[in-house]
Structure formats: C-alpha cells, structure tokens
C-alpha cells in the first residue's frame, strides 16, 4: 500500500501540472496575446525599454510621483565614446 501511494502522488501531480501547462498554452496565452495586441502594448511588453522618462510618465499616470534625477542619454553616450 505504501508503494502504491508513492507512485500515485507524483503521477497525479505530474499529470495535473501537464494539464495546467497545456491549458495555459492552448487557451489563456492566445487570449492574453490578443488583448495586448488590441491595446497596442506588444512593443511595451516584449521589448526591453529602460527609458526612465517613459517609466516616470507611466508611474505618473498611475498616480505615483517620483522625484528622480534626470538621465540624459546623449550625454551618457558621449561620455562612453
């Protein structure tokens, strides 16, 4: 009986995890991708954008005020080159 329990639990968890993964890939992922495409947010979610001004604007839209030092990309590129 103990051996049967040791094989049932991992098998049940494995099958459950596989079913959850397949459901996410087949049903939920296409819904999510369609939603962000309709909202025009594909570039924002799938590409790295570390522009501090854009982040500051996004946070301001949500009601967060950030007092941060301004970062000038052109001056930084000149300093690096």
Note the pLDDT tens digit of each residue in 35-56: 999 998 888 777 766 677 777 7
Say if pTM beats, i.e. exceeds, 0.85.
Answer: no
56 neighbors 68 (Cβ within 8 angstroms): yes
Higher pLDDT, 21 or 64: 21
User: Cα(52)–Cα(54) distance, rounded to whole angstroms?
Assistant: 5
φ and ψ at 21, to 5 degrees? -65, -45
Provide the token pair at 25: 């890939």
**Domain chopping of the chain, boundaries:** 1-47, 48-81
Sign of CA dihedral 19, 25, 30, 33: positive
User: Cα(2)–Cα(45) distance, rounded to whole angstroms?
Assistant: 48
């Amino acid at each position: 009986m103990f051996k049967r329990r040791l094989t049932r639990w991992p098998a049940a968890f494995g099958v459950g995890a596989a079913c959850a993964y397949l459901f996410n890939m087949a049903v939920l992922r296409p819904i999510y991708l369609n939603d962000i495409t309709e909202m025009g947010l594909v570039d924002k979610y799938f590409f790295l954008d570390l522009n501090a001004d854009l982040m500051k604007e996004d946070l301001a839209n949500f009601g967060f005020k950030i007092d941060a030092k301004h970062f000038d990309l052109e001056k930084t590129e000149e300093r690096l080159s």
